[in-house]
Structure 1
Amino acid sequence: MDKRLYEIDLYRFIASVMVLIFHYTFVGYMLGYAPDIRFDGIGEYSRYFYLGINFFFIISGFVILMSAKDGEPGKFFVSRFIRLYPAYWVGVILTGSCILYFNQSQFQASSAEIAANATMFQAAMGIKPIESAYWTLWIEMQFYLVMFALAWFGWLRFILPLIGLSLLVCTFSLFTNWGQAFDLWTNAFPHWWGYFATGCLLYLIRRDGLDLLKSSMLVLALVFVVCQNWLFTNMMEGWYGTTFNEFVIIGLNLLFLGLMLFSTLANQHPLRNARFVAWGALTYPLYLIHQNIGYMLFNAYGQHINKYLMLVVTASLMLAVAYAIHRLVERPLAPWLKKHLTAWLQDKKARESRGKGELEPQ
């Protein structure tokens, strides 16, 4: 049951395009990032495309648990570092360069802030991200750190009860004062942690099969998704000063969960095609570079170009840059980094073993 589910690469790509359209056709003018270009007709529908973020978190839970193994935190660290940082550093350079070049009032950052963003831990340092979309990376990083710790201590064998506990606590916490006191833009708990747990649960169903316990936990995951979306919808109506249909949001979530569950249970799938790997590879670099750079381009050139043409050209440009980052940065650097980071870890482990032997009584 370890065959790659290629359709998940397609789901990731669709989710990333959803987020791009949400930002360009709704958030930009609603929050004043690109106030002169309005897409009211499209925005009526694209306002719901933020759900691509929720879908990302579920897919992350599925994929990360699949890659994590008890007693192998070093391999997990290497795989995550290679996956995250090369493209991210390029994204920071590109976004920082655009901030300095366009010098727009909505997008300002000092050299120190740009440098701090290169760590991906800027939120932990209380420094604003230079790209609005980076907030999700810190949420993801918290999940990775927890998974790293579980692998380090050999506790991944307890992952099923931990998933159940996470879903219960997150669902309950959504409606408590102390749970709502957590900043949902910098803390994975409680708004986002349940999505990671749901993805982990789906992976265990894929690996071990669906039984009564996992079926019950799947119902609990569904309850979390409904509750989180209901609460989050009310929050968004306050932020954007407009209405959202809770039932449309819940329906889209149920559709995605249904697609993921079908992929989890199906031995064969009509979309399980290796060509989607190339699509999925664009997802991360596209997410890293699209938002604020896109807004800056809208502000700089949107007055001189038809807005729909501007939308298509900007989205196409972001896809082309994402492809370039993947082909020219990620693919060449991945084997080199894996070789050297693995060698460094092995050398470090050997030195620790020798040091331990020297301390033992002869």
Structure 2
Amino acid sequence: MSQQQHIRFDFADGLRGLAMLAVVLFHYTQIFWQRRDRIGEVMHLPPLDGYHGASFVLPFNLGAVGVGLFLLISGLLIPLSLTRMGAARFAVSRVFRIYPTYWAGLALSVAALWLASWLPGGEFDVTRADVLGHASIAFQDWLGGRNIDPVMWTLKVELWFYAMLSAAFALTGRRIKWAIWLLLPLIGWLCRFAAPNPFQTIVCYFPLMFAGCWLYFYQTGQAGKWETVLHFLAMLGLFVWVTNWHSAELYASYGIGVALFVAGALWPRLVAAPLLVRVAGVSYAWYVCHSVAGYAILFALAQYGTPWWLMVLLALAATWYLALAINRLVELPTQKIGKRLADKLK
């Protein structure tokens, strides 16, 4: 156990930075321009007019590439935290790591929607139920309310992954592999055999995260090369089976994320660029504040006929500095509080 306290996966920082850039570029250079009706619904604004030919047209989904990377990285790192801290300390640290920063991003998103309502044709239509559902993250499907921030769903997946894996870890006597095997039949049943339920769109991503877990097992000497390869591929196959999407493009996009993850693990220098590491340091704060606030900035700039590429650059810069503020004023201080409280449970 003492050896595990010093294990580091530095390549994960570069991959996290790459994932964040993929997600934010997807939202600003693809979906904002290609799904104008949907973005108008999110922002309570008429769909953007003009700007024909704007956006990057790519043969793959940048957002899926980034999300795939994020989920694999979580799978890689969570076993380390669980085995080192135990379920109770892990839960405390995660609550303080996730919720305060997310609430700061949510407050910024609501403020951005209010400001956007002053644009032509806009309205502010956010209710207390909407905010309450979002503030809970994990329980939005049960509390109700409409979506405020369309990127929140990935945090819901992460939280339920933490909760269910922690519970299974405790039930199996702190045996992380056994915990995974305990969850797999439940995931298969919920996704392919049970009646439609809110968990289906949550746990279907767990096998992808379990694939990341197996790289952790390999890196820490808990699995050999062939065991790792076979289990990694099996988890990817299970991911395809439980998601059951009818989109080869979407699977290919997640496949690119998998390929980048493997490449980063095998050749860490590929993702050691200072820019990626810098982005990784504020990736969570940027993730929770970039979507709605960025769309509001893009809509506002469009009122003045700003070139689309300049709109994107300005939205990137503005949300980056907002993320820096959230990171310094909220994320880092509350992480320290969570660590101190978790340490008291030793």
Partner-residue secondary structure (3-state), 2:245: helix
Residue matched to 1:28: 32
Residue matched to 2:297: 297
User: Is 1:3 paired with 2:7?
Assistant: yes
Which stretch of structure 1 is more off in the superposition, 23-32 or 75-84?
A: 23-32
Output the CA distance in 2 between the equivalents of 1:253 and 1:161: 27
- Provide closer, same or farther for how the CA distance between residues 137 and 250 of structure 1 changes in structure 2, counting only shifts above 3 A: closer
- Provide closer, same or farther for how the CA distance between residues 328 and 261 of structure 1 changes in structure 2, counting only shifts above 3 A: same
Residue matched to 1:18: 22
Q: Is contact 1:163-1:201 (8 Å) kept? A: no
Task: List aligned pairs for 1:313-328, cutoff 5 A.
Answer: 313-328=314-329
- Provide closer, same or farther for how the CA distance between residues 329 and 232 of structure 1 changes in structure 2, counting only shifts above 3 A: farther
- Give the one of 71, 80, 92 matched to 1:57: 71
Residue matched to 2:88: 74
Could you give the per-residue CA deviations for residues 59-80 of structure 1, whole angstroms, max 9, x where no partner exists?
1111111100288222101220
Q: Is contact 2:116-2:122 (8 Å) kept? A: no
Q: Is contact 1:21-1:46 (8 Å) kept? A: no
How far is the alpha carbon of 1:135 from its aligned partner?
1.1
Which stretch of structure 1 is more off in the superposition, 330-339 or 13-22?
A: 330-339
Unaligned runs of 5+ in 2: 41-46
TM-score by length of 1: 0.76
TM-score by length of 2: 0.80
- Give the one of 45, 53, 61 matched to 1:48: 61
Larger Rg: 1
Query: Which structure has the higher relative contact order (CA within 8 Å, separation 6+)?
Result: 2
- Provide closer, same or farther for how the CA distance between residues 320 and 232 of structure 1 changes in structure 2, counting only shifts above 3 A: farther
Runs of 4+ in 1 over 6 A off after TM superposition: 171-174
User: Is 1:249 paired with 2:253?
Assistant: yes
Q: Is contact 2:105-2:288 (8 Å) kept? A: yes
Q: Is contact 1:195-1:225 (8 Å) kept? A: yes
Residue matched to 2:171: 153
Output the CA distance in 2 between the equivalents of 1:198 and 1:145: 18
Output the CA distance in 2 between the equivalents of 1:299 and 1:276: 28
How far is the alpha carbon of 1:133 from its aligned partner?
0.6
Unaligned runs of 5+ in 1: 235-243, 347-362
Residue matched to 2:158: 140
Output the CA distance in 1 between the equivalents of 2:73 and 2:172: 23
CA RMSD of aligned residues (A): 3.4
How far is the alpha carbon of 1:147 from its aligned partner?
2.3
Could you give the per-residue CA deviations for residues 7-26 of structure 1, whole angstroms, max 9, x where no partner exists?
21111111111111111222
- Give the one of 114, 117, 123 matched to 1:100: 114
Could you give the per-residue CA deviations for residues 242-283 of structure 1, whole angstroms, max 9, x where no partner exists?
xx486x5365145224225426xxxx7565589865431211
Task: List aligned pairs for 1:233-244, cutoff 5 A.
Answer: 233=247, 244=249
Residue matched to 2:209: 196
Structure 2 letter corresponding to 1:144: Y
Q: Is contact 1:62-1:200 (8 Å) kept? A: yes
% identity of equivalent residues: 23
- Provide closer, same or farther for how the CA distance between residues 65 and 108 of structure 1 changes in structure 2, counting only shifts above 3 A: farther
- Provide closer, same or farther for how the CA distance between residues 179 and 61 of structure 1 changes in structure 2, counting only shifts above 3 A: farther
Output the CA distance in 1 between the equivalents of 2:85 and 2:100: 26
